[in-house]
Amino acid sequence: PARDPDPSVYLALRLAGDHDLREEERYLGRLRDAFQHRYGRSAEVEWPETGRLALYLLGLRATCPPLEHVYQRSLVTWLKYYLEEDWSGSRQHGHPLTSYYQYGLGVLALCVHRKRVREEVIRRLLVAEHHGKFGYSNSSAMDTEAVAALAFACLEREKLVGTGLAAELRAATRRGRKRMIEAQSEDGFFGNVYSTPWALQVFIATNACRTHSAYGRAMAALLENLDAFTTTATMAQALPALHGRSYLDISSMHCEEE
């Protein structure tokens, strides 16, 4: 059977420098079929799919021409619901039911859609960052660190929070970037070869590429090890950074440029 389409693949195609619009439209059609079936009117989802839905919403924000708002509004509502359901796990387990990585993707997707996020939702992620809780799950701590930093940077950039919280988010983004630099290995990677593209997105999104030599070292290491990216999913993870783009660029894409 054919694999379910991966929203991160569509995102990588949209953030690339060159476009095959027909192929992108075909892949988007597959995504819409998969998600409309999943989130129809009678949808019943037993477990939060925070990360996957967040990536799909990021993809929808990058479409050209933009999709109708009614369809997106329903999915935004689902994502907000997931963020609350996800957090219910923290009362029992001390962390989201899915992971801080998926939770951070959810916050990032809402921000890129310029949807206001409840301060409590943001603070949950801030507290986790402040207390070093991103390393508990199976997903790489570096990936989680990067996703959270992108979410924080987005919320500040889009002016979706007050000045006090914006200052906290700015400080958290800097702390995350500092930890990445401190964790950079001798061969130049942030974490490992697969985590490095996520970390590079943080430097790109915060305009820190030229001010930190760590970025150049990591990009050089990535370019020397592209043969490690052998699956569609891992290639999709690497492509945005290789094109000098981050997921924050989605909110300012212009169709006429294509």
Q: Binding site for cyanocob(III)alamin: what residues are annotated?
A: 98-102, 143, 192, 237
- By residue count, the chain amounts to 258
Binding site membership: which residues? 98-102, 143, 192, 237
Is the C-alpha dihedral spanning 244, 248, 252, 253 positive or negative? positive
DSSP string across 46-94 = SS--HHHHHHHHHHHHT-SSPPPHHHHHHHHHHHHHHHHHHHHHHHHHS
From CA 44, how far away is CA 81, in angstroms rounded? 12
Buried b (16+ CB within 10 A) or exposed e, 97-115: bbbbbbbbbbbbbbbbbeb
Contact 149, 202 (CB under 8 A): yes
Cα atoms found within 13 Å of the Cα of residue 210, Cβ hemisphere only: 1
